[in-house]
Amino acid sequence: MPALQKNFSLLPYNTFGIDAKAEWFFPVSSAEKLIEFLADNAFLKHQKRLILGGGSNVLFTSDVEGVVLYNQIKGIRVVAEDEKSVFVQAGAGEVWHELVLHCLEKNWGGIENLSLIPGSVGASPIQNIGAYGVELKDIFHSLEAIQLETGKRETFSHAACRFGYRDSIFKREAKGKYFICSVTLQLSKIHQLNTSYGAIQSELTEMGIQKPSIQDISRAVINIRQSKLPDPAVIGNGGSFFKNPVVESAHLQQLQQEFPNIPHYPQPDGRQKLAAGWLIEQAGWKGKRLGNHGVHDRQALVLVNYGGATGSEILDLAQKIQAAVSAAFDVQLETEVNIV
């Protein structure tokens, strides 16, 4: 791919399939190239910058002003190991699921429940990706990043990332300030399996597996995900559009009087997590289609582009859903997808 390009179409670079343009587009193949690029291009100091990985968690609502830094930093290596653990460092431009498959092939565990999540390794800490009872924070060791203002390298420990539910420091104080270049994971050689969440156990039973390996769990997760979630290669989407909201327990009790079957999951701090998909379905939005975009008919949390929708049309739909859920339940849905 050539270096800096102007008026570059981002259509193939986002899973929503939005036809937006980047004013400038620069593929970053190494940390050194990025440092050099930041130092050599003085005009960049005054430009907006957007870091892009697999584009599976962004919604472009207009053309992107300034420069898009497209992460292409590759490489997977073991940096340390002992009899129980292996520390694996992956370039941020590696495809997340390819890293998962690589680790499973080596029989390194802890990552199997996170199979088939789209996107890049570098974006995985941003929202602390999670699925089937495991979050990145459970296997994360540290990351290396470049501060975009200074061009300096920095290491972030687990504590420094301040992980939360679909959250980290990179969605808050450090938003847009750091380019993550590599992520180091601590994986197990002696495995602790996590099959309690969702349909994993029943899928394993259906697969005829009684004593699962980490590779079996990965296959079960892949089967479930493929049957439940729309494939962005077939229909444009960004996965779950909203986070599951967390409410005070008094609020839940109030809601239970009117909706006795409302799904809820107790949190360590005493609050309750609600299922955003259930709320959206109850508010009447599941499967609704507005021309070329809408709400998926099997998964109410997923907004889809049937082809040719603009990001602002999808954002408008998201805002209508937020208003409907707020009116019905007095619950504010926060977007999980990054609106650009």
Footprint of ligand FAD on 204-263 (CB under 6 A): 229, 232, 237-239
Please report how close the Cβ of residue 230 comes to ligand FAD at its closest, in angstroms.
Answer: 7
Q: Which of 338, 319, 326, 314 is nearest to 235 (CA)?
A: 314
311 binds ligand FAD (CB under 6 A): no
E strands, 29-133, are 49-52, 58-59, 64-71, 76-81, 85-91, 130-131
Query: How many binding residues for ligand FAD (CB under 6 A)?
Result: 33
Residues 6+ apart with CB under 8 A from 131: 113, 114, 117, 221, 225
Burial 230-261 (b: 16+ CB within 10 A, else e): bebeebbbbbbbbbbbbbeeebbeebeeeeee
What residue number has its CB nearest to ligand FAD?
119
Q: Encoding tokens for residue 171? A: 């969605």
SS3 36: helix
Please report how close the Cβ of residue 134 comes to ligand FAD at its closest, in angstroms.
Answer: 10
202 is catalytic: no
240 is catalytic: yes
The only residue of 10, 31, 86, 129 in contact with ligand FAD, by rule CB under 6 A: 129
- Tell me how far apart the alpha carbons of residues 37 and 31 are, in angstroms, rounded to a whole number: 10
118 binds ligand FAD (CB under 6 A): yes
Please report how close the Cβ of residue 143 comes to ligand FAD at its closest, in angstroms.
Answer: 9
Q: Given the complex with ligand FAD, which of 22 and 255 has the nearer CB atom?
A: 22
Q: Encoding tokens for residue 207? A: 């697969």
- Tell me how far apart the alpha carbons of residues 29 and 46 are, in angstroms, rounded to a whole number: 23
Footprint of ligand FAD on 25-84 (CB under 6 A): 50-58, 71
140 binds ligand FAD (CB under 6 A): no
Q: Given the complex with ligand FAD, which of 51 and 255 has the nearer CB atom?
A: 51
Footprint of ligand FAD on 142-201 (CB under 6 A): 178-180
List of residues contacting ligand FAD (CB under 6 A): 15, 50-58, 71, 92, 117-120, 122-124, 126-127, 129-131, 178-180, 229, 232, 237-239, 338
Residues that are catalytic: 166, 240, 336
